[in-house]
Amino acid sequence: MNTTLNDMQREGGEPPLNLIAAQYVLGTLSASARLRFQSRLQQEPELRALTHAWERRLNPLTHLLNPQPVPIEVWQKIEARLDGVNLMEKTSTTPIKHQPHHPQIVSNDNYWKPFAWISTGIAASLTLFLFVRPEFSTIVQPMVAQQSQIMRDVAVLSTDKNSPAWIVRQQGQSLILSVLNAQSVPSDRDLELWSIHDKSAPRSLGIIHLTNGQATISKVTADLISKDVTLAISLEPKNGSPTGQPTGAVLYTGKIIRT
Partner 1 sequence: MFASALDERALLLKIGQGDRDAFRQLYDQTSPQLFAVALRLLRKRDAAEEVLQEVFLTLWHAADQYDIERGSVRTWMSTITRNRCIDRIRRTPLETLPLLDDDALASEKDDPLSHVLDQDHHQLLSVCLEGLDSQQRQCVSLAFFDGMTHQEVAAHLTVPLGSAKTWIRRGLDFLKKCMGAI
Q: Give the residues lining the site for partner 1 (CB under 8 A).
A: 1-2, 4-6, 18-19, 22-23, 25-31, 34, 49, 52-53, 55-71, 73-75, 77-78, 81-82, 126-127, 130, 133-136, 138-140, 146, 150-153, 155-156, 164, 167, 169, 178, 180-181, 213, 257-258
CB of 245 to partner 1, least distance (A): 28
Alpha carbon distance, N-terminus to C-terminus of the chain: 30
* Cβ distance to partner 1 smaller for residue 17 or 167: 167
Task: Give 208's Cβ-side CA count (13 Å radius).
Answer: 28
DSSP 156-183: EEE-TT--EEEEEEEETTEEEEEESS--
CB of 13 to partner 1, least distance (A): 14
CB of 244 to partner 1, least distance (A): 30
* Cβ distance to partner 1 smaller for residue 4 or 239: 4
d(CA 158, CA 124): 33
* Cβ distance to partner 1 smaller for residue 13 or 69: 69
CB of 186 to partner 1, least distance (A): 23
**Residue 228, SS3 per DSSP:** coil
* Ramachandran class of 130: left when φ > 0, alpha when ψ lies in -120 to 50, beta otherwise: alpha
